């Protein structure tokens, strides 16, 4: 399964490319200690930095980067991005636009009178037949001052137009710069099929397997990492 990204030829020299998420892990995760003292346990315990499901979720899929620096001051957004006029009719030139507050009416995350920002797309995305693109906020990235809303696009059919990424600005006190390359969305290719739900009671073999697995996980560290975690080479190449 391939993800094909295309951009306007006039903007190509100026755009950071989408990248595999595993190469865009945040600095705070790299700097995080592997262990920390727990008063409840009375000893050092492993942090989420050593939790493969936590890290693998952050490293899965593709990150969509902000194309240029965006300055935020007193609730105002501005940028100084000197790029040529796109060669494609109707193509955006600004990194941001917005959705009016009325479009969020009735949603639990709506805030009175507050519009949603929209990270404009500078790349079209085409997937193989039968695959859709799930876009969401970068996983476990509560350090970002916005929250990207999740969406699902049938990108095997819709690929001639850009996929934009609406987001809520959640830090009204933020003043500073969102740097070029900041991840604004994390995207996953998902097969467009419905799962068949099967429900069973644990038989004797599965009960034995449950008890054995739980006891091994509790007895020693890194059991999941060493015995069950799949190699990540299958996630693709840039």
In a domain, 124, yes or no: yes
Q: Which own/partner contact pairs does 79-86 have at CB distance under 8 Å and 24+ positions apart?
A: 81/14, 83/10, 83/11, 83/14, 84/10, 84/11, 85/10, 86/8, 86/10, 86/11
| Residue 93: pLDDT band with limits 50, 70, 90 | very high
Q: pLDDT at residue 238 above 60?
A: no
Q: pLDDT at residue 129 above 90?
A: yes
Q: Any idea which of 48-52, 66-70, 135-139, 216-220 has the lowest mean pLDDT? A: 216-220
Question: How high is the pLDDT of residue 153?
Answer: 98
In a domain, 199, yes or no: no
Phi, psi of 27 (to 5 degrees): -60, -35
Reduced to 3 states (helix: H, G, I; strand: E, B; else coil), residue 188 is strand
Query: Sign of dihedral through CA atoms 2, 166, 92, 171?
Result: negative
Question: How high is the pLDDT of residue 78?
Answer: 96
| Residue 108: pLDDT band with limits 50, 70, 90 | very high
- What's the mean pLDDT in 172-177? 94
Q: How many domains does the chain have?
A: 1
Query: Across the chain, what does the average pLDDT equal?
Result: 94
In a domain, 236, yes or no: no
Q: pLDDT at residue 232 above 80?
A: no
In a domain, 229, yes or no: no
- What's the mean pLDDT in 20-38? 96
- Domain holding 188, by residue range, is 3-81+88-194
Whole-angstrom Cα distance, residue 62 to residue 136?
11
Phi, psi of 36 (to 5 degrees): -145, 150
Whole-angstrom Cα distance, residue 80 to residue 56?
35
In a domain, 56, yes or no: yes
Question: How high is the pLDDT of residue 236?
Answer: 47
In a domain, 204, yes or no: no
In a domain, 51, yes or no: yes
Q: Which of 141, 131, 125, 122 is nearest to 57 (CA)?
A: 141
Question: How high is the pLDDT of residue 235?
Answer: 43
> What CATH number is associated with residue 131?
2.70.40.10
Question: How high is the pLDDT of residue 234?
Answer: 44
């Amino acid at each position: 399964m391939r993800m094909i990204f295309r951009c306007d030829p006039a903007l190509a020299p100026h755009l950071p490319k989408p990248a595999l998420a595993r190469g865009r892990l945040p600095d705070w995760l790299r700097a995080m200690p592997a262990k920390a003292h727990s008063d409840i346990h009375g000893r050092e315990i492993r942090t989420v930095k050593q939790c493969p499901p936590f890290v693998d979720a952050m490293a899965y899929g593709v990150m969509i980067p902000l194309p240029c620096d965006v300055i935020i001051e007193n609730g105002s957004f501005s940028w100084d991005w000197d790029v040529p006029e796109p060669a494609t009719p109707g193509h955006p030139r600004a990194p941001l636009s917005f959705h009016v507050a009325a479009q969020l009416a009735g949603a639990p995350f709506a805030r009175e009178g507050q519009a949603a920002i929209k990270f404009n797309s500078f790349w079209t995305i085409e997937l193989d037949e039968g695959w859709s693109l799930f876009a969401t906020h970068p996983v476990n990235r509560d350090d970002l001052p916005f929250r990207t809303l999740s969406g699902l696009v049938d990108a095997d059919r819709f690929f001639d137009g850009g996929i934009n990424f609406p987001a809520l600005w959640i830090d009204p006190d933020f003043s500073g710069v969102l740097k070029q390359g900041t991840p604004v969305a994390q995207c996953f290719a998902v097969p467009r099929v419905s799962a068949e739900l099967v429900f069973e009671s644990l038989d004797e073999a599965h009960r034995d397997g449950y008890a054995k697995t739980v006891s091994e996980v509790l007895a020693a560290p890194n059991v999941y990492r060493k015995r069950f975690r799949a190699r990540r080479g299958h996630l693709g190449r840039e």
